[in-house]
Amino acid sequence: MSRLPRNDPRQYDDLADQWWRPGGEFEILHWLARARGALVPPAERPEAVLVDAGCGGGLLAPHVERLGYRHVGVDLCGPGLRQSATRGVTPVTGDVTALPLADGTADVVVAGEILEHVTDLAATVAELCRVLRPGGLLVLDTVNDTWLGRFVTVTLAERFGAAPPGIHDPDLFVDPGELATQCAKHGVQLRVRGLRPSVRGLIRWLFLPAGPGTGPLGRMIPIRSTAVIYQGWGRKQGEMA
């Protein structure tokens, strides 16, 4: 992979073959996608829409495909979007700071592992909430702006192969209090909890080979501490029409 600046989205083009590779560099993203999917309820109406902001290769798709939503994935990177399309996702090329979708489009908006990559958090949150219908659900996860978050997800993860070098810019990591404040401005009262990878799964991923057909090697476990990775969820004020 060519050397690019930290957090440069072109890295995802270079890493496109990793989205669905068993035990690959995006393995832990599968665990996070499963944790996000667990927070999404079945659709409450016909033609319900789930907007997957920063959908990447469509890792959320297997976890929501039977819930009754039209799954719309928005991303800047073409190779990931093409893989999303093969997983039943409707692909839309776009930036999460200016989603190319109408107001109130979505019954559920999911923003997984994207907020720590945006340079304008306020604009991104505003867009996520804008496309959400009144009464709709926002689900997200991201990396906390703490010394431990930076140490674990950058220093350790890059050193031991748990994250591609340069994939994160720690200056963009997100304080949960600030995130909750931004969501509240748009009528979403955010609840948060921490996540950590299962120890057995992490060991299997880092030290044991994964062959073709291998499923996820681990999972994310909810915890109280939000110091490293955390997820949030909340409904937008108002009633669904």
Domain of residue 150, CATH code:
3.40.50.150
Count Cβ atoms below 10 Å from residue 200 Cβ, excluding itself: 11
> Tell me, what's the pLDDT at 1?
40
Does a structural domain hold residue 182?
A: yes
What's the pTM value of the predicted model, to 2 decimals?
0.94
Does a structural domain hold residue 240?
A: no
Does a structural domain hold residue 183?
A: yes
The tens-digit pLDDT sequence of the chain (241 residues) is 447 889 888 899 999 999 999 888 999 999 999 999 999 999 999 999 999 999 999 999 999 999 999 999 999 999 999 999 999 999 999 999 999 999 999 999 999 999 999 999 999 999 999 999 999 999 999 999 999 999 999 999 998 888 889 999 999 999 999 999 999 999 999 999 999 999 999 998 888 766 666 678 899 999 999 999 999 999 999 876 5
Token code pair at residue 235:
């409904």
Does a structural domain hold residue 173?
A: yes
Does a structural domain hold residue 2?
A: no
Burial of 90-107, coded b for 16+ CB within 10 Å and e otherwise, reads: bbbebbbbebebeebbbb
Print the domain residue range for 87.
Answer: 10-235
Question: Of 150, 167, 117, 160, which Cα lies nearest the Cα of 227?
Answer: 150
Torsion of CA 166, 167, 170, 176, to 10 degrees: -170
Token code pair at residue 40:
């999404």
- For residue 60, count CB atoms less than 10 angstroms from its CB and return exposed for 0-12, middle for 13-18, buried for 19 or more: buried
Count how many residues are written for the chain.
Answer: 241
Q: How many domains does the chain have?
A: 1
CA 149/CA 15 separation, integer angstroms:
23
Does a structural domain hold residue 64?
A: yes
CA 131/CA 185 separation, integer angstroms:
15
Does a structural domain hold residue 1?
A: no
> Tell me, what's the pLDDT at 212?
65
Half-sphere exposure of 178 (CA within 13 A, CB side): 15
Does a structural domain hold residue 46?
A: yes
